[in-house]
Structure 1
Amino acid sequence: MTDTPQTTRRPRVLLVDDHIAILRVTCRMLERLGHDVTVAERGAQAIEMFRSKAPPIDLIILDLGLPDMSGAEVLRAMPADWAAVPVIISSGAGANVVDQTLTDRRIAGRLDKPYSLQDLRTALEQASRWRAKYS
């Protein structure tokens, strides 16, 4: 009997942000931390990805200030079966604006722009704890 090596799927992050520079840098940081990344530049694009369910998403990093809709509107449009997917909200608007959005149970953490690799790592750890608590 031959042992077949098991392959483990890398966690997939849906990164939703309209700033190309942030997308590029954050993609590199996430890949360095061992994640695969799917990108959406608009809220409507993210919602379409939720509905298509492909590829499977393990975590969402969501900018609150998208050009076509707010991050809160994107959260409200998420299907009920996505309730177990943790969301890290990202914003350059400041903590007060972000804290008002934190009332949604799916919010696992926040990233204040600009953020560092360590900030991202900390937010990913918070999301992991959130998933363990709510899954």
Structure 2
Amino acid sequence: METSGFYSPRTDAFPAGLRVLVVDDDPTWLKILEKMLKKCSYEVTTSCLAREALDLLRERRDGFDIVISDVNMPDMDGFKLLEHVGLEMDLPVISQFAVINT
């Protein structure tokens, strides 16, 4: 859409088909994130355990473009998962924090 005399197409959108691994021990949040990402035409794989996710990443070395991970998980701290991904793979990781009001 042209405004003020010049047009610039949007170039900052992520590509369709982005391969995303989502890791969260909360099945409700896992499903919500999966649905939202699929609406963006992303290929989504989910895991409720960090160790399982790490195994997936190791088995499918070039199978993912990005990881979205919860920080507080029962089997492995999300920061530990981030450390493994950083040392073993060249993948961006988004860590999500849950804020709980008490």
**TM-score tier (shorter):** 0.7 to 0.9
Q: Does 1:29 align with 2:36?
A: yes
Q: Does 1:46 align with 2:45?
A: no
The structure whose residues are more often helix, as a share, is 1
- Give the TM-score normalised by structure 2: 0.74
**RMSD (Å) for aligned C-alpha atoms:** 2.1
Larger radius of gyration: 2
Q: Which runs of 4+ in 1 moved over 4 A?
A: none
Q: Any gaps of 5 or more consecutive residues in structure 2? A: 1-14
Point out which structure has higher relative CO (alpha carbons under 8 A, 6+ apart): 2
- Residue pair 1:50, 1:79 contacting (<8 A) in 2 also: no
- Among all aligned residue pairs of Structure 1 and Structure 2, give the percentage whose two residues are the same amino acid: 28
- Residue pair 2:16, 2:42 contacting (<8 A) in 1 also: no
Which residue pairs with 1:68 in the alignment?
Answer: 75
- Give the TM-score normalised by structure 1: 0.57
Q: Against the structure 1 CA distance between its residues 40 and 55, is the aligned structure 2 distance closer, same or farther, given a 3 Å change threshold?
A: farther
CA distance in 1: counterparts of 2:58 and 2:80, whole angstroms: 15
